[in-house]
Every structure is written in C-alpha cells, then in structure tokens.
Structure 1
C-alpha cells in the first residue's frame, strides 16, 4: 500500500482523482484490510493545514481525539475524551469518528453545536450540513460552528461488548437579539436523534416541549436522562 500525505488541498484532490482511499487514523479500517487486503493507494490528511485547525469555532478532520482540548466547546471536548481507550484516542481522528464510525461518538456534540462541514471532492471544496455528511460520507476537511453560551455532554455507563451507551448532548445558543434556543441530541443504540426548542425560564416546560417532539418516542430511561440534562444545562445558562 502506498500512502500519500498531501500538504495542500489541490494535492489532496489529485490523489482523490487517482483513487486514493482516505484512512483517517486507520483505527476502523486496519482490521478489515488485514482480512480482505490493503488498497493500492491510501491518503492521510495529517499534514494538511486545513484539516488540522483547532479553535473556538473550528476543528479539523485530521485532529486526533486526544488533541481536542479546551479551545473547543465543552460538549465536543468531553465527547472526544470518552471515545475508546487512551490508545484509541491517540490514533483516531475527528473525521474518522464522524464519517467512518458506526458509533459516531462526536456526532451528537456536533449536532447540538449546529455545526457545518467543509468537505473535499475531486473538483471543489464546499460546505454541507451534518445530515449530508453522514449520508454521503464525503471527505471531511473540518467542522465549523458558532460558539454556544453553554454546552454539556453525558455518556452513560455500558458493559464492554454490549449495546452502545446512551449519550445526551446539549447546548444553549443565543442570537444577536438575545433570543435563546436549546439544542439536544441523543444517541440511543446506533441511532442519533436531535431536536431544538426555545429556552424559557421554566426548565420543566422546556423539557416537556422536547418530550412532545420526536424525542418522546425514546425509551423512558433515555427520556429521564434527557430531562436531567436539560435542567442542568438551563441552570448553567441562567448564569450567563
């Protein structure tokens, strides 16, 4: 297998045109390749500046999970910090987790940030939403969002080898007029559900509004955890 390490977008596009397979941190594909055979040409974005950004409102696809630090919102930082083991987090990338993983541990955090994705094709760089990113799985360059007032993340305990643990991500956003909106995302099993609602002073009423949405079809345990997290995040938002 020949591994390409582009240092510019145009170079990465050239390798894509040649049929290079993006590998991220290779934590998800290596076992399959050992079983089924390695591709002739692969490509890593680890030397591409656009894929290594870390900032208050941006995160590159080639950033390793253990490098996701206090520069990004709490919800994204905590999501990255709970993926796998330390060894996995030192190898796995943001892009590989969101686009390549069936668990997509970072996806709920990205959803509540209302993130947009900058992606790369053979002939252009363009922006898309997370729905298209997950469905079509283009080559992710980076995520971008507007900073929330507050955010939170909770991952429930789970047995090794069992079903994926329940995840609840939350964030409160404010527009230029001070209007506040709560975004929540829940991973239940392998499915991720997200909703948003206006924030009011009454946390119970806000939670009821979410319960009346599609999130009301979640199991009772998941709804109970969601209500706890909604109350907590709105209490924190009240301090801002």
Structure 2
C-alpha cells in the first residue's frame, strides 16, 4: 500500500481522482484491511492546513481527537474526550469519526452546533450539511458553526459488549426571532434531533421539543433529555 501525504487541497484532490482511499486515523479501517486486503493507494490529510484548523468556530477533519480542547464549545470538546481510550483519541480524527464510524460519537455535538461541512470530492471542494455528509461519506476537510450561547453534553455509562450508551447533546443559539434550543440524542446506533424556541420557560420548550422526533424516545431516554435541557436553560450564558 502506498500512503500519499498531500500538502494542499489541490494535491489531495488529484490523489482522490486517482483512486486514493482516505485513511483518517486508521483506527477503524486497519483491522478491516488486514482481513480483506490493503488498497493500492491510501491518503492522509494530516499535512493539509485546511484539514488541521482548530478554532472556536471551526475544526479540521484531520484533527486528532485528543487535540480538541477549550478552543471549541464544550459540547464538542466533551464529545471528543468521551471517545474510546487515550490511545484511540491520539490517533482517531474528526473526519474518521463522523464519516467512517458507525457510532459517529461527534455527530450529536455537530448537529446541535448546527455545523456545516466543507468536503473534498474528485470534482472539487463543496459545502454541505451533516445529513449529506453522513449519507455520501465524502472526504471531510472541516466543520464550521456559529458560537452557541450555551451548550452541554452527557454520555451515559455503557456496558462492555453492550449497545452504544445513550448520548445527549444540547445547545442554545441566538436568532433574529429569539433563542433556539437544539438537541440531538444517540440512542443505540441511531441519532435523533430536534429544535424548539426557548424564549419562554423551560416546560414550554420541553413540550415543543417532545412534539418533534423525540416523541418516539423511550421514557428513560426522555428523562435524560429533560434533565439536560432543564440544566442548560437554567444556566444559560455559562458556557
């Protein structure tokens, strides 16, 4: 296997057009390649500047998870810190987690930040939403979002060998028509999301949220959502 290390987006695009397979941090693909065979050409974005940015409102797809710190909102920082072991976080990348992983541990956080993705395909660079990112699985160059007023993240304890633990991410954003609450829940391997205005009291926001896709959540999961939203809206401005 030949590993390509482009230093620019245009060079990465050329390798992609030649059939190079994105490797990310290789934490997910290595075992599969050992079993099924290695590709002739692989590509890492670790030397591409646009894929390594780490700022308050953007993160690159090649950023390894252990680098994600308080430069980003807490919801994303805590989500990254909860992925795997320290060894995994030192190798796994943002792009690998969102595009290559079935668990997509960072996805709930990205959803509540209302993030947009800049992606690289063989025909060039495009901006897209998270739904298309997950469905089409292009090469992720970076995520960008607006700074939230407040945000929170909670991951329940899981059992070894059991189903993925429940994750609840939430954030409040300012808007022209008032503040808006966004919540995303990973329940098993699926992710549900919804939003509601939160200019009034917490119970009204929860009622509006329950009328979205969260109406199908099991009672135990909804109780965690209720607790998280209550804490978030009660402590707005503390992020």
Length-normalised TM-score, structure 1: 0.97
The one-character-per-residue Cα deviations of 1:29-69 (angstroms, maximum 9, x if unpaired) are 00000011111100000000000000010000000000001
- Conserved? CA contact 2:108–2:168, under 8 Å: yes
Whole-angstrom CA distance in 2 between matches of 1:178 and 1:60? 31
Say whether 1:134 aligns with 2:119.
Answer: no
Whole-angstrom CA distance in 2 between matches of 1:219 and 1:233? 21
Structure 2 residue runs of 5 or longer lacking an equivalent are none
Question: How far 1:190 moved relative to its partner?
Answer: 0.3
Q: Which runs of 4+ in 1 moved over 4 A?
A: none
The one-character-per-residue Cα deviations of 1:52-107 (angstroms, maximum 9, x if unpaired) are 00001000000000000111000000000000000000000000000000000000
The one-character-per-residue Cα deviations of 1:96-151 (angstroms, maximum 9, x if unpaired) are 00000000000000000000000001121110000000000011100000000010
Residues 150-169 of structure 1 aligned to structure 2 (within 5 Å): 150-169=150-169
Whole-angstrom CA distance in 1 between matches of 2:237 and 2:22? 43
CA pair 42-220 structure 1, distance change in 2 beyond 3 A = same
**Which residue pairs with 2:209 in the alignment?**
210
**Which residue pairs with 2:5 in the alignment?**
5
- Conserved? CA contact 2:150–2:237, under 8 Å: no
**Which residue pairs with 1:96 in the alignment?**
96
Say whether 1:125 aligns with 2:113.
Answer: no
**Which residue pairs with 2:184 in the alignment?**
185
The one-character-per-residue Cα deviations of 1:184-228 (angstroms, maximum 9, x if unpaired) are 000000000110000033112211111122201111110000000
Length-normalised TM-score, structure 2: 0.98
Say whether 1:39 aligns with 2:39.
Answer: yes
Whole-angstrom CA distance in 1 between matches of 2:60 and 2:126? 15
How much is the aligned-residue C-alpha RMSD, in angstroms?
A: 1.2
Whole-angstrom CA distance in 2 between matches of 1:168 and 1:104? 13
Whole-angstrom CA distance in 2 between matches of 1:78 and 1:102? 19
Structure 1 residue runs of 5 or longer lacking an equivalent are none
Whole-angstrom CA distance in 1 between matches of 2:112 and 2:138? 21
Task: State the number of aligned residues.
Answer: 239
Whole-angstrom CA distance in 2 between matches of 1:186 and 1:62? 25
Query: Is the partner of 1:237 in helix, strand or coil?
Result: coil
